[in-house]
Amino acid sequence: MPLILFNKPFRVLSQFSADGDKATLAHWIDTTKVYPAGRLDYDSEGLLLLTDDGRLQARISQPRSKTPKMYWAQVEGEATPAALARLEAGVHLKDGTARAVFARSRPEPAGLWPRDPPVRYRKSVPDCWLELGLTEGRNRQVRRMTAAAGLPTLRLIRYSVGPFTLQGLAPGEYREIGNAEAWQALKRHR
């Protein structure tokens, strides 16, 4: 079975099995013979990789692989150089220190789809977009890191995992890549 690159919509569980009335991967993907290579929170959007190849899944998701992941985060507040430096230097979380490989301001991503429901807008509180790179994937890590740096996350989109990106995928869409091609892309990406 090929590697599936899926643009997970907002408020979708990263699993096929039902959990109450929450939407799951089964609403968009016709096979249940694949498993997520890593997770993406219910209230986060973006790239989720799925495979039936255990070795490929481990290579993508195991912490020792240090597969880079890039996120776009809309945050509340202004991303000062000090806040960005703090994210890169490391912030203390309950489960240890976490640091971004890089943290930088960016304009709102071009061609970004609207979110339903939309992000709350507050006239008196500015917001901005960040681009963050991580090589680990703890539970709700980006959200906890930005909050610790004084920039609570309003919207979170995973743009890439290693060499794989959201490019050309609308929410709920997916494309498939053969396993051999996926392994080659991972080897070239080091």
Instruction: Write the pLDDT tens digit of every residue in 8-30.
Output: 999 999 999 988 999 999 999 98
Is-catalytic flag, 52? no
State pLDDT tens for residues 59-100: 998 888 889 999 999 999 999 999 999 999 999 999 999 999
Residue 118 pLDDT exceeds 80: yes
Give the residue-averaged pLDDT of 50-67.
90
Give the residue-averaged pLDDT of 178-186.
93
Query: Who has greater pLDDT, 189 or 5?
Result: 5
pLDDT at 62: 85
* CA pair distance 99, 182, nearest whole angstrom: 27
Residue 190 pLDDT exceeds 80: no
- Residue pair 50/37 in contact (Cβ under 8 Å)? The answer is yes
* Selected catalytic residue, list 41, 52, 95, 116: 41
pLDDT at 63: 80
Q: What is the pTM of this model?
A: 0.95
Task: Please give the distance of CA 120 from its chain centroid, rounded to a whole number.
Answer: 20
pLDDT at 21: 93
Residue 57 pLDDT exceeds 90: yes
- In order of their start, the domains of the chain are 1-65+162-190 (3.30.70.580), 68-159 (3.30.70.1560)
User: What burial class does residue 142 get, using C-beta atoms within 10 Å of its C-beta: 0-12 exposed, 13-18 middle, 19+ buried?
Assistant: buried
Residue at token pair 């490929």: 56
Confidence of residue 39 (pLDDT cuts 50, 70, 90): confident
State pLDDT tens for residues 120-168: 888 888 999 999 999 988 889 999 999 999 999 999 999 999 999 999 9
Give first-to-last CA distance, the chain, whole Å.
24
Angle of CA points 70, 73, 74, to nearest 5°: 160
